[in-house]
Amino acid sequence: MEIKKDLETIERILNKGVEQILPSKDALKEKLLSGERLTIYQGFDPTAPSLHIGHTVGMRKLEDFRKLGHKVIFLIGDFTARIGDPSDKKEARDSARKVLTKEQVESNLKKYIDQASHILDIKNKENPVEIKYNSEWHDKLTFSELINLASEFTVQQMIKRSMYQERLKEDKPIFLNEFLYPIMQGYDSVVMDVDIEVGGNDQLFNMLAGRDMVLNHLKKEKIVLAGKLLETADGNKMGKSEGNMVRLDDSPEDIYGKIMSFEDNQILISFEILTNASMDEINQYKKRIENGENPMTLKKELAFKITSEIKSEEDAKKAELFFEAIFQKKDIDTEIPTIKIQKDSLSLVDLIYECNFARSKGEARRLIEQGAVHINGEKCSVFNQNIDLKNSQKILKVGRQIAKIEIQ
């Protein structure tokens, strides 16, 4: 396999959407210019039925590495998903992530490869992406081997993480299985003999654990590339409280609408980490913002670009027309997606949950509290409000999501 040294691609890898590179940016650049074929991977835990837009940040890096001729591994963490990753995202600091069963994980991962193929050229004839599952080696680990791996780390190393410190202060539980997660993720790097690991900055602790283990077991230095995260003003990850998490299996209309609900201060960072825009293009967007251009105009361009890259340009055009008709011209006669419900009445919280406009009933309650829920144009604020679906058409709008509700 011929290794390319395209300087534009290398500079994009080093600078676009990058929070930090360890041990250094220069070390990675030297590797990329050496002509050596490198092995790069990112892991994706199937903890939900769909990948989301945040996953595309790392996938774009993987695609750049692949285009240069390097070996790229798309690792599905079907084993580590069962442990529960104690990530360093703010909302994860309060409690442990729910541990999933093997059956739940297998159900979730079914569509991952297809969804990832919108960003990654997985089946490229010259340099295809390798798909691996970490259950292949973790299921074979003996208890004795696990003890040996665990002996490479101290409790002090684990407990110093900020999220554990927060839980200790609030007397909230810390489970032993959470300590195992960075060890298991680190072991992935050893088994696959990787040179570079890509991930979000919230995964830095786990990636550095792998860096230490690669040095211990393989006597070489693994490079860590940590990408920037898209966060809301309060430090939470995108979409957690606003209901605008963009899933890759969302309809084009939902993707476009959810992007339009982003905060104005998320526009520039979104162009940088969520699109294929060049650094020159991003600098132009920055100048337009600094010159006082209407954020709505830029947000429309962002929504169109993201939708077209995840779906298609034709889908993006239809989504744009749909958004303008519904949210700007108030044309309710425009075709709206229909959701069929088996019951003829149910509570407001249950309706939101049944329509998949919220991942949980708790999230549905938060959306109601925030004033994000409307039925037929009227704001709804009572959790247990009974919604009668028999006598009249109901149009449910939750944030930027909208649907006609019909009885099945």
Residues of the chain with pLDDT under 70: 84-99, 232-244, 326-335, 376-378, 391-393
Same domain, 107 and 171: yes
Give the C-alpha separation, 44 to 109, whole Å: 9
Give the C-alpha separation, 257 to 238, whole Å: 14
Same domain, 188 and 43: yes
Same domain, 41 and 95: yes
Same domain, 348 and 373: yes
Domain count along the chain: 3
Q: What is the dihedral of CA 197, 198, 204, 209, to 10 degrees?
A: -20
Same domain, 138 and 96: yes
Each residue's pLDDT tens digit, 89-137: 444 444 455 667 778 888 888 889 999 999 999 999 999 999 999 999 9
- Written as one string, the DSSP assignment of 93-135 is SSSPPPPPPHHHHHHHGGGHHHHHTTTS-TT-SSSPPEEEETH
Question: Rounded to the nearest 5°, which phi and psi values hold at 63?
Answer: -65, -40
Nearest residue to 273 via CA among 308, 239, 304, 302: 302
Could you tell me the CATH number of the domain that includes residue 379? Answer: 3.10.290.10
Let me know if residue 37 belongs to a domain. Answer: yes
Give the C-alpha separation, 224 to 193, whole Å: 14
Could you tell me the CATH number of the domain that includes residue 207? Answer: 3.40.50.620
Same domain, 276 and 388: no
Give the C-alpha separation, 360 to 357, whole Å: 9
Nearest residue to 183 via CA among 154, 162, 160: 154
Domain end, chosen from 328, 363, 395, is at 328
Give the C-alpha separation, 78 to 80, whole Å: 6
Could you tell me the CATH number of the domain that includes residue 306? Answer: 1.10.240.10
Full residue range of the structural domain in which residue 298 is found:
252-328
Domain end, chosen from 328, 347, 365, is at 328
Let me know if residue 245 belongs to a domain. Answer: no
Question: Rounded to the nearest 5°, which phi and psi values hold at 223?
Answer: -90, 140
Same domain, 125 and 178: yes
Let me know if residue 240 belongs to a domain. Answer: no
- pLDDT of 247 reads 87
Let me know if residue 295 belongs to a domain. Answer: yes
Q: Considering the entire predicted model, what is its pTM?
A: 0.78
Same domain, 153 and 69: yes
Sequence-ordered list of residues with C-beta below 8 angstroms from that of 249, at least 6 positions apart, any chain: 49, 50, 111, 115
Let me know if residue 19 belongs to a domain. Answer: yes
In DSSP terms, 379 is beta-bridged to 374
Domain end, chosen from 227, 244, 260, is at 227
Same domain, 12 and 134: yes
Let me know if residue 239 belongs to a domain. Answer: no
Same domain, 197 and 317: no
Same domain, 47 and 186: yes
Same domain, 73 and 127: yes
Share of the chain above pLDDT 90, in %: 59
